[in-house]
Amino acid sequence: MDSETAVPQQQNGNVFLSFLAILAGFVFAAVTSVGTDIGLHKAGIAPSLSERWPDKLLGLATVYRALYGVISSWISARLAPKSPMGHALIGGAIGTALGIAGVVVNMQKRVGADWYPVALVLITMPTAWLGGKLRLMQLGK
């Protein structure tokens, strides 16, 4: 194999690993967030996921989603083949876009409190940056 064919394969491998790194962060965030929601419901602390949650519980959900956001971004940064902060921020950008879609849906359907999806959008990039920063600190950068 000559060097001209080795480089594209390496780049394709990096793209796949990058995709997996970001996907792993999203899977962690989704599983832990929904798992915590269900756990709170099963414990009798929160209503079902289809019912409107009171503001106090939405505040708690915002806090644990922020924590999970930091950890999920750290996971993406940790698994990144290169540019850990870049991977954390790409995950954050995708999460922000999904969050904006959530704001639009909430505005149209009035599913829950108006402030909650907006808060999730606002915390997404800072938590992504913090997760990436924690990874860079581990690497001594």
* pLDDT reported for residue 48: 87
- Rounded CA-CA distance 128/90 in Å is 8
* pLDDT over 80 (residue 55): yes
- Rounded CA-CA distance 85/88 in Å is 5
The token pair that represents 2 in the structure block = 């000559």
End-to-end CA distance of the chain, in Å?
35
In this predicted model, what pLDDT tens digit does every residue of 84-129 receive, in sequence order?
A: 999 999 999 999 999 999 999 988 887 778 999 999 999 999 999 9
In this predicted model, what pLDDT tens digit does every residue of 129-139 receive, in sequence order?
A: 999 999 999 99
Q: Which amino acid is at 126?
A: P
The reported pTM is 0.87
- Rounded CA-CA distance 75/94 in Å is 15
Q: Tell me which residue range forms the domain holding 83.
A: 3-138
The alpha-helical segments, DSSP class H, found in 3-141 are 3-42, 55-79, 84-109, 115-138
Provide the domain count of the chain.
1
Conformational region of residue 54, where left means phi above 0, alpha means psi within -120 to 50, and beta covers everything else: beta
